[in-house]
């Protein structure tokens, strides 16, 4: 009973101490919030552009029949007759996220400064702001000071890792198979440009790969055709060659070869981030909790000291 009374008294004294320090708690929280507001306002807006994509449907009826009959023979020639649309989409997305593809894409389009050195966007002039400590736009030279083995100009690996982490997002819906490709950047125009060019680049890349693979298979099949005198085998080779020629023809005429745009990317009008209101609310909570902890520590320290 005595212990309960002591506990009740301690809680009462603690509450009195907290109430007596209410101005300290208020001012501390206010200072933290004001600092958070100024910091949040200093952060540049980030915009996101996204496109909804669907895998291009393949007519696998003829190739499916060939696969059941000549799958083993086709495999020797390096021909995958049983390649389903799902497998093709999976491969395409892996290529899209691969280091080799993205490094080549970013370098070809000279996106390295825009990705690594941009720190804002001027809405009135529609120009990118660059961090002068990293990149000088006038001389087009890299200025960052960094320890070896890294250099002033970011390496391809650095750019790839930064782009994957900060800018690019690829999400596939498991039920529908649709793909949402999105890019974040300080400029909504740059974000849209990158999305559009990525779609064109991955379709072009997969088209070139399939044409090259078909040419290699046709070359092998024609050599094998010349070396055989068995009529049935010759018929098989002719069918396989015809199938590869169809692959080349489809690749040549289709602009959207593997990924078809369902909902194209647009220039975002509203910012995606930062979430300034959420940041300030969290700062307020931190300020209140921090000041309460200080008051409680002082209270228990003085009580035990006495």
- Structural domains of the chain, ranges and CATH numbers in brackets: 2-42+277-305 (no CATH), 47-273 (3.30.1890)
pLDDT over 60 at 17, yes or no: yes
Question: What pLDDT sits at residue 73?
Answer: 52
The first and second tokens of residue 5, run together, are 């009374």
pLDDT tens, residue by residue, 61-115: 444 455 445 545 555 555 555 555 567 899 999 999 999 999 999 999 999 999 9
Q: DSSP string covering 70-137, please?
A: HHHHHHHTT--TT--HHHHHHHHHHHHH-HHHHHHHHHHTT-HHHHHTEEEEETTTTEEEE-TTTEET
SS3 of residue 75 by DSSP = helix
Q: How confident is the model at residue 49 (pLDDT cuts 50, 70, 90)?
A: very high
Other CB atoms within 10 Å distance of the CB of residue 69: 13
**Alpha carbons 28 and 186: distance in angstroms, whole number:** 33
Question: What pLDDT sits at residue 146?
Answer: 85
**Alpha carbons 49 and 55: distance in angstroms, whole number:** 20
Q: How confident is the model at residue 306 (pLDDT cuts 50, 70, 90)?
A: low
Question: What pLDDT sits at residue 237?
Answer: 84
Q: How confident is the model at residue 5 (pLDDT cuts 50, 70, 90)?
A: low
Are the CB atoms for 299 and 17 separated by under 8 Å? yes
Please report how the helices 22-42 and 2-20 are oriented relative to each other, as an axis angle in degrees rounded to 10: 50
Please report how the helices 99-108 and 188-227 are oriented relative to each other, as an axis angle in degrees rounded to 10: 120
Mean pLDDT within 48-70: 70
Question: What pLDDT sits at residue 83?
Answer: 55
Integer Rg of the chain from CA:
31
Are the CB atoms for 195 and 51 separated by under 8 Å? yes
Other CB atoms within 10 Å distance of the CB of residue 74: 23
Are the CB atoms for 294 and 17 separated by under 8 Å? no
> pTM of the prediction?
0.81
Question: What pLDDT sits at residue 1?
Answer: 46
Conformational region of residue 57, where left means phi above 0, alpha means psi within -120 to 50, and beta covers everything else: beta
């Amino acid at each position: 009973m005595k212990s309960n009374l002591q506990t009740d008294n301690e809680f009462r004294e603690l509450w009195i101490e907290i109430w007596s320090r209410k101005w300290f708690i208020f001012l501390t929280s206010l200072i933290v919030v004001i600092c958070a507001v100024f910091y949040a306002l200093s952060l540049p807006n980030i915009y996101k552009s996204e496109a909804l994509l669907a895998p291009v449907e393949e007519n696998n009826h003829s190739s499916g029949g060939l696969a059941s009959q000549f799958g083993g023979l086709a495999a020797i020639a390096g021909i995958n007759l049983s390649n389903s649309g799902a497998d093709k989409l999976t491969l395409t997305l892996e290529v899209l996220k691969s280091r080799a593809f993205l490094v080549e894409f970013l370098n070809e389009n000279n996106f390295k400064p825009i990705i690594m050195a941009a720190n804002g966007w001027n809405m009135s002039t529609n120009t990118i702001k660059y961090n002068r400590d990293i990149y000088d736009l006038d001389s087009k030279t890299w200025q960052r000071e960094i320890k070896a083995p890294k250099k002033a100009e970011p390496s391809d690996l650095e750019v790839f890792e930064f782009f994957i982490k900060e800018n690019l997002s690829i999400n596939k819906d498991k039920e529908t198979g649709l793909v949402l490709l999105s890019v974040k950047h300080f400029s909504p125009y740059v974000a849209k440009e990158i999305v559009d060019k990525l779609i064109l680049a991955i379709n072009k890349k997969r088209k070139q790969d399939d044409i090259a693979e078909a040419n290699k298979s046709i070359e092998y099949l024609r050599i094998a055709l010349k070396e055989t005198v068995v009529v049935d085998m010759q018929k098989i080779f002719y069918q396989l060659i015809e199938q590869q020629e169809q692959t080349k023809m489809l690749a040549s005429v289709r602009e959207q070869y593997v990924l078809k745009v369902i909902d194209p990317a647009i220039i975002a009008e509203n910012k995606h981030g930062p979430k300034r209101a959420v940041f300030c609310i969290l700062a307020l909570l931190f300020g209140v909790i921090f000041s309460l902890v200080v008051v409680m520590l002082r209270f228990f320290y003085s009580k035990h000291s006495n």
